[in-house]
Chain A
Amino acid sequence: MAETHSLQDLQQPAVSSKVFVQRDYSSGTICRFQTKFPSELESRLDKQQFEETIQALNNLYAEAEKLGGKSYLEGCLACLTAYTIFLCMETHYEKVLKKIARYIKDQNEKIYAPRGLLLTDPIERGLRVVEVTIFEDRSIGSGR
């Protein structure tokens, strides 16, 4: 019977390396990340799985930055109230960022953590990179 060992039970796993997924600027300054699969993750993760995660993130960021009726309305309302309205309510972008944080947490729990990987929310890196931390493979005796 396979047991799940929580972090506290075992010694802290060591960080083997970090992979950085850079921004994709081919569509301009909007927030998009490259969907190219990093070679360092080949042994740990499915290419498709990774691409799905990144694509979902890209879609979420596109939703945050979308120019449409709703965002214009919010902008106009904010201007009319001399931007004091943001003292009471969150901007649309902030709401989507929270959604993204939940999504990443969810992905980490379901897919990445069981494979010894950890996704860092890009906002913690200034929306420059998606940092994937690769932890040492402890089931095999020696390190990588």
Chain B
Amino acid sequence: MHLGVSESMRECEYSQISTRSSTPMETPYKKRTPKKRKWEAFPGRNKFYCDGRIMMAKQTGVFYLTLVLILVTCGLFFTFDCPYLAQQLTPIIPVIGGVLFLFVLGTLLRTSFSDPGVLPRATSDEAADLERQIDVANGSTGYRPPPRTKEVVINGQTVKLKYCFTCKIFRPPRASHCSLCDNCVERFDHHCPWVGNCVGRRNYRFFYMFILSLSFLTIFIFAFVITHIILSSHRNGFLKALKDSPVVVCFFSVWSIVGLSGFHTYLISSNQTTNEDIKGSWSSKRGKDNYNPYSHGNIFTNCCAALCGPLPPSLIDRRGFVQSDTPQLASPTNGITMYGATQSQQSHMCDQDQCIQSTKFVLQAAATPLLQQQSSEPVILTASPENGVSLPGRTSLALGGPCTSLPLGQPTPPTSTPSLSCHEATDIHPLQEPVAHHHFLTPEEVPSPPGMLHCGSPLGHSHTVQAGFYNPASQDSLHEDSVRGLVKLSSV
């Protein structure tokens, strides 16, 4: 009977994999796990409202200011100027004003509330795989590896892809890590405090529509307020006219908004981001052969592509449910390691997880005597992977010891001073106002701490997933690798 079963199994060669769900352990356990939405476990520094439908940056104070300024100015215009103008000139004026106002508000809210194109962080398996590839490429050296970059040739131009230590991915071209929101954003333009969100691939067109319509609105209001004053002053005298019309739009603010729209029109027509323009990435000053590889060639196509092209969907599934067997990386707070975070998230451990935990304990127990004997024991530095599954040298960092105090993926501290604030954007305001600066933060990665500090609690976890299925014969290779990892640690 037993033999018969194995023979029939051999006949069908491989066991049929259920394609219903992406992970085999999902279905039986879904009922037991508490239903938590993915936005609740989102690792970035974003705020979510309406059960994950609305996504904004952490600091939203300036956004509310923007809203108030627009509402107050338009409110004053409609209350004080429109009745006079509708009477004296034509009632179409308030109608057009109303339409513009609604469009401005709509695009502002759309820009502020939508996902700018955040790239989800790598899963632990992906991160481990990348680490392994990088280790293989670097060789097993004891010192800190150089900053990780990959070069890619795009339409004849060499572009460097940087590795993001927080998100554990190689950033796609044109993506950048926003230090305020702690996310990698696709086609990152800039972080705009006025809209309270990053401006990236998915909301750039809304942002552009917002500033364009706002320019039209400010010019419209400014023009008709002046008209009102002039018309009034013909009858009543200039000073009385000014008194009757309390809305005096700041001349500079109009030109700031118009200037910003002009700048972004230029960016769109040349298919550049603010980031690239400020850095001069595709400027001809850098070299004769330097050109923008992303440009479609002509202004019309560039504009159409940016404004009317297909709208990519959000890559972070905000309203989906967290899968209990694929633990999400929780946001690092107070140095809680992946291990701790996982434990707090999953109240029900399935068999696989228990196997993982027990394997971890085994590794910890095994490595502790190695730690003590470190100096005396000859170190076997073997780089060759065992059993077709390779372990990067950081396996040992699943240990409790050196790693628990280290934060998980150190979030890059927000750059307090904007590296370049060349564009001033103020909104319409009845009174004279100090011109505020548009924060064009060019987010740069914080210089990475010694590579070993990015240890490997996620790596440790992924290794134990793999380790759980090793046969005891490969435990020795595990020990060798963990010793190798320990040596690396000690050499920091």
Interface residues of A (CB under 8 A from B): 2-8, 10, 12-20, 23, 25-29, 40, 64-67, 71-72, 74-76, 78-79, 82-83, 86, 91-94, 97, 105, 108-109, 112-118, 120-121, 123-129, 131, 135-139, 142-144
Given contacts A28-B155, A97-B313, list 7 more A-B pairs with CB under 8 A. A15-B465, A78-B311, A82-B107, A91-B311, A108-B19, A127-B315, A144-B388
For the complex of A and B, the 9 pairs showing the least CB-CB separation, nearest first, are A75-B308, A7-B18, A126-B120, A116-B14, A113-B17, A126-B315, A108-B19, A2-B11, A72-B308
In the assembled complex, B16 has its CB within 8 A of some CB on chain A? yes
Q: Which residues of A contact B301 (CB under 8 A)?
A: 67
In the assembled complex, B119 has its CB within 8 A of some CB on chain A? yes
Specify which of A7, A10, A27 lies most central, judged by the most chain B CB atoms within 10 Å of its CB: A7
Interface stretch among B169-177, B227-235, B440-448, B482-490? B169-177
Known pairs A79-B209, A83-B110; A113 contacts B19 (CB<8 A): yes
CB distance from B319 to the nearest CB of A (A): 14
Interface stretch among B42-50, B121-129, B329-337, B425-433? B121-129
Q: Contact mask B1-36 → A, CB, 8 Å, 1/0?
A: 000000011111111111100101100000000000
Known pairs A83-B110, A139-B9; A26 contacts B304 (CB<8 A): no
Partner of A29, one of B103, B153, B187, B471: B187
Check if B206 sits within 8 Å of A83, measured CB to CB: yes
In the assembled complex, B469 has its CB within 8 A of some CB on chain A? yes
Q: Which residues of B contact A66 (CB under 8 A)?
A: 310
Find residues 425-480 in chain B having any chain A CB closer than 8 Å to their own CB. 465-466, 469-471
- A sample of 29 inter-chain contacts (CB < 8 A) reads A2-B11, A3-B11, A5-B9, A13-B24, A14-B469, A17-B389, A26-B152, A26-B153, A29-B187, A65-B312, A67-B304, A67-B305, A71-B310, A74-B310, A75-B304, A75-B309, A75-B310, A83-B206, A86-B311, A93-B312, A105-B19, A108-B19, A116-B15, A118-B22, A120-B22, A131-B126, A135-B17, A136-B469, A144-B387
CB distance from B188 to the nearest CB of A (A): 12
Specify which of B25, B309, B316 lies most central, judged by the most chain A CB atoms within 10 Å of its CB: B309
In the assembled complex, B154 has its CB within 8 A of some CB on chain A? yes
Chain A minimum-CB-distance residue to B7: A139
Check if B13 sits within 8 Å of A82, measured CB to CB: no
Q: How far is the CA of A125 from the CA of B125 in the complex (A)?
A: 11
Chain B minimum-CB-distance residue to A14: B469
In the assembled complex, B106 has its CB within 8 A of some CB on chain A? yes
Q: Which residues of B contact A16 (CB under 8 A)?
A: 389, 469
Partner of A79, one of B14, B161, B307: B307
CB distance from B423 to the nearest CB of A (A): 24
Check if B466 sits within 8 Å of A139, measured CB to CB: no
Chain B minimum-CB-distance residue to A112: B17
CB distance from B173 to the nearest CB of A (A): 6
Specify which of B16, B388, B466 lies most central, judged by the most chain A CB atoms within 10 Å of its CB: B16
Q: Which residues of A contact B16 (CB under 8 A)?
A: 4-7, 113-114
Find residues 273-310 in chain B having any chain A CB closer than 8 Å to their own CB. 293-294, 296, 301, 304-305, 307-310
